[in-house]
Amino acid sequence: MSSGDDGLLSFFFYILFVYPTTSWILKPGRFPKKSGLMYAIGFLAVLALGKTYLEFQERGPNYYNELHINRASTPLEIKKAYKKMSLELHPDKNKSPNAADEFARVKDAYDTLMDPELREVYNKFGPDGIKHNRRFDETQLLLEIAVYYATWGMLAFVLTLGKASSSARNWIFTGQIVMLIAEISLMLQETKLPGWLLPAWTEHEFVFLMHSLFPAFMNGCRCLCGFLYVDVEEQARQKMEHLDAQNKDILLVLRDIQVNMQSIAVRLKGD
What does pLDDT average to over the chain?
Answer: 85
pLDDT-based confidence at 174, cuts 50/70/90? Answer: very high
**pLDDT digits over 211-262, tens only?**
988 988 888 888 888 888 766 565 666 767 776 777 777 777 778 787 777 7
Residue 198, pLDDT > 80, answer yes
Q: How many CB atoms lie within 10 A of CB 141?
A: 17
Over residues 49-71, the mean pLDDT reads: 91
**Crossing angle, helix 138-159 and helix 203-228, to 10 degrees?**
20
Q: Out of 29-33, 63-67, 201-205, which region has the weakest mean confidence (pLDDT)?
A: 29-33
Looking at per-residue confidence, does 161 or 183 come out higher? 183
Confidence of residue 163 (pLDDT cuts 50, 70, 90): confident
Predicted confidence (pLDDT) at residue 188 exceeds the cutoff of 90: no
How far is the C-alpha of 249 from the C-alpha of 253, rounded, in Å? Answer: 6
Distance from C-alpha of 205 to C-alpha of 84, rounded to nearest angstrom: 26
Element housing 97 (H / E): none
Structure confidence at residue 1 as a pLDDT band (50, 70, 90): very low
Is pLDDT larger for residue 61 or for residue 245?
A: 61
pLDDT at 119: 94
Higher pLDDT, 246 or 7: 246
| Higher per-residue pLDDT: 192 or 114 | 114
Average pLDDT over residues 188-195: 77
pLDDT band for position 138 (cuts 50, 70, 90): confident
pTM over 0.85, yes/no: no
| CATH class of the domain defined by 71-136 | mainly alpha
Give the pLDDT score at 113. 96
Q: Where are the domains of the chain?
A: 3-60+137-229, 71-136, 232-271
Residue 139 burial (10 A CB sphere; 0-12, 13-18, 19+): exposed
Contacts for 191 with CB less than 8 Å, ≥ 6 apart: 185
Sign of the CA dihedral running 190, 109, 199, 77: negative
